[in-house]
């Protein structure tokens, strides 16, 4: 299996020791870190298989659900999802999103 990692290197704040995403066997694992180049992995929303959504405040849960309904109007295309609250997120973020996606899904 060939593994490919996509990293912005010096553009990551503080040169964190991780990649923005990694790909192997047709699946791309997208990091929770906001990517400086969101299109770098070549994946789109249609390829999302599962999403983990971390919220700094679960009061934002309905906003996430509303955005998901807008992004995936056909219920048959909605990825599996796990949403939970965490005590704090890096850089004062209110949301962090992590997901595996099918490689080559550009929508």
Place of tokens 């997208």: 30
In a domain, 20, yes or no: yes
CATH number of the domain where residue 18 is located = 3.30.1330.40
Inside any domain, residue 107 = no
| pLDDT at position 46 | 85
Determine, yes or no, domain membership for 61: yes
- Contact status, residue 29 vs residue 49, Cβ threshold 8 Å: no
Cβ atoms of residues 99 and 50 within 8 Å: yes
55 inside domain: yes
The pLDDT of residue 39 is 65
Q: Quick check: is 16 in a domain? A: yes
Residues with pLDDT less than 70, the chain:
7-17, 33-41, 105-107
Share of the chain above pLDDT 70, in %: 77
> Which pTM value belongs to this model?
0.74
Helix (H) or strand (E) holding 24: strand 21-24
Looking at the DSSP bridge assignments, the partners of residue 69 are: none
Q: Are 85 and 56 in contact (CB under 8 A)?
A: yes
The answer to whether residue 18 sits within a structural domain is yes
In a domain, 86, yes or no: yes
Whether 42 maps to a domain, the answer reads yes
Domain that holds residue 71: 4-102
Q: How far apart are the first and last CA of the chain?
A: 25
Q: What pLDDT is attached to residue 5? A: 75
Contact 64, 53 (CB under 8 A): yes
Domain count, the chain: 1
Q: What pLDDT score does 33 carry?
A: 65
- pLDDT recorded at residue 80: 93
């Amino acid at each position: 299996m060939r593994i490919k990692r996509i990293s912005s290197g010096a553009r990551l704040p503080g040169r964190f020791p991780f990649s923005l995403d990694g790909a192997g066997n047709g699946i791309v694992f997208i990091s929770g870190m906001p990517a400086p180049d969101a299109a770098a992995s070549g994946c789109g929303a249609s390829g999302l298989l599962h999403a983990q959504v971390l919220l700094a405040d679960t009061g934002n849960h309905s906003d996430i659900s509303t955005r998901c309904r807008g992004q995936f109007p056909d219920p048959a295309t909605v990825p599996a999802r796990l949403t939970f609250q965490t005590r704090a997120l890096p850089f004062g973020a209110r949301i962090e999103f992590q997901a595996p996606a099918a490689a080559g899904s550009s929508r």
